Amino acid sequence: MNVAVREPKAAQRLKIVDCDIHPTWRTPAELHPFMSKRWQEHMATYGTFFRHGLTGQLPYPRMMAGGMRVDSFPEDGSPPGADLDLMRRQHLDPNGVEVGMLIALSRGGLEERNLDFAAALSSAANDWQRECWVKKEPRLRAAIVVPQEHADYAVAEIDRRAGDPAFAQIMISPRSSDPLGHRRYWPIYAAAERCNKPIALHVAGFSGGHTSTGTGWPTYYIQEHFAMSSGMQNTLTSLVFEGVFERFPKLKVVLVEGGFAWAPALGWRMDKHWERMRSETPHVKRPPSEYVREQVWFTTQPIEEPDDPDHLAEIVNWVGWDRIMFSTDYPHWDYDDPKQAFRFKLSPEQRAKIFGDNARALYGLT
């Protein structure tokens, strides 16, 4: 209700790990110090993959102010997520964020089709995350952005960053050229396993050259928003049935912002059909849900809100209390407040796991 009443409570709350925070640049030129002259000029002349005529306008509709919390715009006119001080003031400090995972969407070479440029952009985005965010704010951790459509380049970028504690995980886009289980991406999973860093898959909508739904371009944002969750299910299904988890048993995958209430039903369905069609994919040696249970983590935002909040507790029972990690999505409009997100009663142990301990264990945070 107001600062005076809320702050003492904030001090008493347990320290949280927020698994989804979006930093952005004030202007694209913030990347220039980390790029060669050749790529600076290329970027200035041709732009990046997300190029379109209406400057500042997304090609697909978004809720609210371009998908942002209306109250998250810095006073200097820069975009939400560009001002570290505001992020501290508005989110990290009052919410007791001990560690925040940066998800630098569209700030690297994830979906750039010019592969050499993608490599330069990814490397610059990683330097930018380290220098402009993690170095200035030690609570934050970066994710290694990679040019995922060129596995050799991607692996080189992962290997270059593997020993740097500023990077907690590796980020690739689930809106990839092929479904992510495809063998062209396997060198990335091998590199992730080698350096013991999870792969973070953050939902994406229109990007990657595919429709967000699989059934054609949706009309409304409300449809596209839902399609992000069903797209995540397709990605997970691909990873399971292409045999990625079987081939890389130490691979850890974090599904960010894709929801989790669907996971039990998807597991039941995959298991049932695996029993009947197992001979088609004999390389999938165990029931699909077992791989998911052992190698997949889910972040909470935007948390599902059943009429009876206790139904969500039941779903977490099925997914696993050790596999759900709290996230806010700051500064995006569908942000979850840590004080408000869970509407059913969590035991102290459950609360500790979801709001921090699961992420601390996964990322080896001390």
Partner 1 sequence: MSRRVIARASEVEPGACKIVTVLGREVGLFNVGGEYFALSNRCPHRGAELCRGMIVALVGSSGPGEYHLSRPGEFIRCPWHGWEFDIRTGQSWCDPKSVRARQFAVKVEPGADLVKGPYVAESFPVTVEEDYLVIDI
* In the complex, least distance from residue 76 CB atom to partner 1, rounded to whole angstroms: 18
Residues 109-148 interacting with partner 1 (rule: CB under 8 A): none
Q: By CB under 8 A, tell whether 222 contacts partner 1.
A: no
Evaluate whether 92 touches 137 at the Cβ level (below 8 Å). Answer: yes
User: What tokens were used for 114?
Assistant: 């010019």
Judged by CB, which is closer to partner 1: 70, or 361? Answer: 70
* In the complex, least distance from residue 312 CB atom to partner 1, rounded to whole angstroms: 15
Q: Which of 206, 336, 342, 354 binds partner 1 (CB under 8 A)?
A: 336
Tell me how crowded residue 244 is: count the other CB atoms within 10 A of its CB.
22
* In the complex, least distance from residue 35 CB atom to partner 1, rounded to whole angstroms: 35
* In the complex, least distance from residue 333 CB atom to partner 1, rounded to whole angstroms: 6
Query: How far, CA to CA in Å, does 216 sit from each of 49, 196, 209, 223?
Result: 21, 37, 12, 11
Q: Which of 1, 8, 282, 348 binds partner 1 (CB under 8 A)?
A: 1
Evaluate whether 199 touches 228 at the Cβ level (below 8 Å). Answer: no
Q: How many residues sit close enough to partner 1 to count as binding (CB under 8 A)? A: 17
Evaluate whether 17 touches 99 at the Cβ level (below 8 Å). Answer: yes
Pick the piece of the chain touching partner 1 (CB under 8 A) from 1-9, 190-198, 268-276, 311-319: 1-9
Pick the piece of the chain touching partner 1 (CB under 8 A) from 65-73, 92-100, 239-247, 347-355: 65-73
Return d(Cα 339, Cα 162) in angstroms, integer. 34
In this structure, the dihedral spanned by the alpha carbons of residues 233, 204, 157 and 244, taken in order and rounded to 10 degrees, is 10
Evaluate whether 50 touches 131 at the Cβ level (below 8 Å). Answer: no
* In the complex, least distance from residue 302 CB atom to partner 1, rounded to whole angstroms: 9
Q: What would the DSSP string read from start to end of 175-211?
A: S-SS-TTSGGGHHHHHHHHHHT-PEEEE--SSGGGS-
Judged by CB, which is closer to partner 1: 74, or 243? Answer: 74
Evaluate whether 298 touches 35 at the Cβ level (below 8 Å). Answer: no
Judged by CB, which is closer to partner 1: 222, or 265? Answer: 222
Q: By CB under 8 A, tell whether 308 contacts partner 1.
A: no
Q: By CB under 8 A, tell whether 4 contacts partner 1.
A: yes
* In the complex, least distance from residue 34 CB atom to partner 1, rounded to whole angstroms: 33
* In the complex, least distance from residue 65 CB atom to partner 1, rounded to whole angstroms: 9
Residues 181-200 interacting with partner 1 (rule: CB under 8 A): none
Reported in sequence order, the residue ranges of 56-154 that DSSP labels E, i.e. its strands, are 97-102, 140-145
Return d(Cα 155, Cα 19) in angstroms, integer. 24
Judged by CB, which is closer to partner 1: 219, or 366? Answer: 219
Nearest to 121 by CA among 222, 39, 234, 203: 39
Q: Which of 14, 29, 44, 64 binds partner 1 (CB under 8 A)?
A: 64
Residues that bind partner 1 (CB under 8 A): 1-2, 4-5, 63-64, 69-71, 333-337, 339-341
